[in-house]
Amino acid sequence: MLTVKLNEIEGIAILEPDGELSERDFKSASAIIDPYIETSGKLNGIIVHVKTFPGWDSFSALIKHLKFIKEHHKKVSHVAFVTDLPIGAFAEHVASHFISADIKSFSFSELENAVKWISGDDNK
């Protein structure tokens, strides 16, 4: 299951996976995020807030995840990985070669710092 919280004031979507990710999770995420992007033209940031990465329930879910990234990465300014998993630091260095957004990793307890970074308030 993927919980999506959209802060329309800040233009930030927080994605919190809990259990294996399914195709339906990414369809639901798009249904929440896409109307906002259509209205505003972009999303300031996506935060992936996860304690442990649950994986995907099928190969088709992985493909849907990759399609979600492909369809959204040019419309998102920042991506923050808020996790203690090594994937956060890995993604910060590797994903920057494939997507146009600024990417940064934070520890799992630093969700508020990630929001501030995306909002441009990280010096406060």
Contact 12, 45 (CB under 8 A): yes
Overall average pLDDT of the 79-89 stretch:
79
- State pTM to two decimals: 0.85
Phi, psi of 122, deg, nearest 5:
-75, -5
Both tokens of 41, joined, read 């033209």
Per-residue pLDDT at 98 exceeds 70: no
Query: Mean of the per-residue pLDDT values for the chain?
Result: 86
Q: Could you tell me what percent of the chain has a pLDDT over 70?
A: 86
Residue 97: band (very low, low, confident or very high) from pLDDT cuts 50, 70, 90: very low
103 within 8 A of 79, measured Cβ to Cβ: yes
* pLDDT score at 89: 58
Structural domains of the chain in order of their starting residue, each with its CATH number: 2-119 (3.30.750.24)
**pLDDT bracket for residue 64 (50, 70, 90):** confident
Mean pLDDT value of segment 98-111:
84
Flag the least confident range among 35-44, 67-76, 84-93, 99-108. 84-93
